[in-house]
Amino acid sequence: MRKQTKIYNHNGLAGCVSQRRSQKFKVLVGIYHAVQAGLEDDPTCIWMTVCEDHGTLVGHQTLTLAKSHAGFPDMWCEDCRNAKEGKSL
């Protein structure tokens, strides 16, 4: 028997597990179930961390890993990294 997948819809967004504002960068970062959100259908990339302000996303195999990236958008979002370094786009 296959385990039923939990349905995520935080803030009414399909597949959204959670959203929070990065204290350091002041951008909104979301954690998503990739398939439920329509972001990805690759079975090795089940979870997504998304910089909502810049539209950048990064995929992960575990929810724990996705959550661990939420506090550091400058590590995977080029726009956040540029802002940190004082570069304009």
Residue 84: pLDDT band with limits 50, 70, 90: confident
Q: Which of 2-11, 40-49, 52-61 bottoms out in mean pLDDT, i.e. has the lowest? A: 2-11
76 class by beta-carbon count within 10 Å (0-12 exposed, 13-18 middle, 19+ buried): middle
pTM metric for this prediction = 0.88
DSSP string, the chain: -PPPPPP--GGG-TTEEEEEE-TTT--EEEEEEHHHHTS---TT--EEEEETTTTEEEEESSHHHHHHHTT-GGGT-HHHHHHHTT---
Predicted local confidence at residue 43, as pLDDT = 83
Judged against a pLDDT cut of 90, whether residue 79 lies above it is answered with: yes
Pair 48, 57: CB distance under 8 Å: yes
In whole angstroms, what is the distance from residue 74 CA to residue 85 CA? 10
Residue-wise pLDDT tens digits, 2-34: 666 799 999 999 999 999 998 888 999 999 999
Predicted local confidence at residue 23, as pLDDT = 86
